[in-house]
Amino acid sequence: MNIRYELAPQLKLYDEIGFEWVPHLMFTQTSNFRSEIVNTDCCGLRFNEKPNLNQSIFDEKITGKKSVLIGGSTAFGVGSSSDQKTISSLLSNSPDYHFYNLGGRAFNGFQELILYQSLVGKLNGVEKIVIFSGLNDLYFFSGMNFDDNFIGPFFFSRQFFDGMDRGNLSPLRALAKLLLGSLISDKVNWGNITKGQLLKYIFDPHFRRELNNTTPNHTTHITLESIVLRNLSLWSAISNGLGVKVYYFLQPLIGWGKDPSKEEQKIIEFINSNTRKFPSHKIMNNLKSLDQYYSYQTLL
């Protein structure tokens, strides 16, 4: 049995929630998901308590001052045994503040900004924004092969780019890419390559090297530092423009702050022995030296 499910049975449900594609934001959690453990509204946002007949988290009756918790999977509450055990719900136990949960699984820092701006009309009078984030942006620059662009990498980018490419191809070219794509470099433009060039690419090593070397590289190199500074600059502008206090907490990685418990150690050992299923853990394990963590921290 999966040790994760043995120690935390609710994780099986989180693994099954799924995602929905949405404009600008790229994706969000499945909307209107219902269970005893996790419930989402019409926008895929998580409720702080069982939703009853509410369609949106903004339909909830609140008594405290409006506040927001925003971030990735941890802010969303992945692993929590119920909606009431999420960080936003626990913070809302204070009579002074109500925290809306704007956490998004697999979000990077820029997606968090886009989500907040998309909902700004629902957030009039917000006094505090608590950002619990940073780990996903660290992950993108820790050895994984993500697509680089001037906006920055994001999860599921390969599916998005492949979908865009397929949508612009004729049926014959789409079929050729499906059958031969694994043999061809990503640099090849399937919308322009001729049949003759394709055959030469496959059978002529000299032509293949020449085409790969002369194909323009549209990749724009972007650094972790530039992404962090951009995101913090935008949050600063939101803070100053709306008169709202913004608090940024860098999400910790296991092993950074304490020794693992027995249960945590079992999960770590299980993941370490199944790195094919959990490649992200192997990559993030390299950050235990805290080198990138501290370089990130100096930017905050």
Nearest to residue 44, comparing CAs of 26, 63, 61, 65? 26
pLDDT higher than threshold 80 for residue 250? yes
- Of the pLDDT bands very low, low, confident and very high (cuts 50, 70, 90), residue 265 is confident
Residues 64 and 176 in one domain: no
Quick one: pLDDT at residue 196? 77
pLDDT exceeds 70 at position 276? no
Residues 230 and 269 occupy one common structural domain: yes
Of the candidates 118, 115, 101, 112, the one whose C-alpha atom is nearest the C-alpha of residue 135 is 112
User: CA distances (Å), 113 to each of 130, 234, 236, in order?
Assistant: 12, 8, 11
Q: Which carries the bigger pLDDT value, residue 219 or residue 160? A: 160
Q: How confident is the model at residue 110 (pLDDT cuts 50, 70, 90)?
A: very high
Same domain, 127 and 274: yes
- Do residue 172 and residue 48 come from a single domain? no
Average pLDDT value over all residues in the chain: 82
Query: Which CATH number belongs to the domain containing residue 54 in this structure?
Result: 3.40.50
The per-residue pLDDT for range 36-79, each reduced to its tens digit, is: 999 999 999 999 998 877 889 999 888 889 999 999 999 999 99
197, 214, 231: which is the final residue of a domain? Answer: 214
- 165 lies in which domain range? 157-214
| Beta carbons within 10 angstroms of residue 157's beta carbon | 17
Task: Examine residue 148 and state whether it is found in any structural domain, yes or no.
Answer: no
Q: What is the pLDDT of residues 1-46, one digit of tens each?
A: 578 888 889 999 999 999 999 999 999 999 999 999 999 999 999 9
pLDDT band at residue 152 using 50, 70 and 90 as cut-offs: confident
Per-residue confidence (pLDDT) for residue 283, from 0 to 100: 53
Q: Across residues 158-175, what is the average pLDDT?
A: 72
Q: Judge if 93 and 241 occupy the same domain.
A: yes
| Count of beta carbons in the 10 Å neighbourhood of residue 281 | 17
Residues 109 and 165 grouped into a single domain: no
Is the model's pLDDT at 159 over the cut of 80?
no
In a domain, 131, yes or no: yes
pLDDT at 73: 95
Q: In this predicted structure, what is the pLDDT of residue 293? A: 55
41 falls within a domain: yes
Distances in whole angstroms, Cα of residue 183 to Cα of each of 72, 105, 175, 187, 212: 36, 33, 14, 12, 13
- Please tell me whether residues 162 and 196 are part of one structural domain: yes
* 54 and 73 housed in the same domain: yes
- Of 267 and 116, which is predicted with more confidence? 116
pTM over 0.85: no
Once rounded to an integer, what is the mean pLDDT over residues 154-162?
Answer: 78
Q: Is residue 104 assigned to a domain? A: yes
Q: Which residue has the higher pLDDT, 256 or 227?
A: 227
DSSP string, 206-229: HHHHHHHHHS--------HHHHHH
In a domain, 191, yes or no: yes
Strands 26-29 and 19-22: antiparallel
pLDDT of residue 297: 54
Please check whether residues 263 and 121 belong to one and the same domain. Answer: yes
Structure tokens given for 87: 């960080």
Question: Do both 115 and 168 map to the same domain?
Answer: no
Q: Which residue has the higher pLDDT, 96 or 171?
A: 96
For range 268-292, the mean pLDDT: 64
149 is a domain residue:
no
- In this prediction, residues 262-283 reach a mean pLDDT of 73
Q: Of the residues 181, 198, 214, which one is the last residue of a structural domain?
A: 214
The number of domains in the chain is 2
**CB-facing half-sphere around the CA of 71: CA atoms within 13 A:** 26
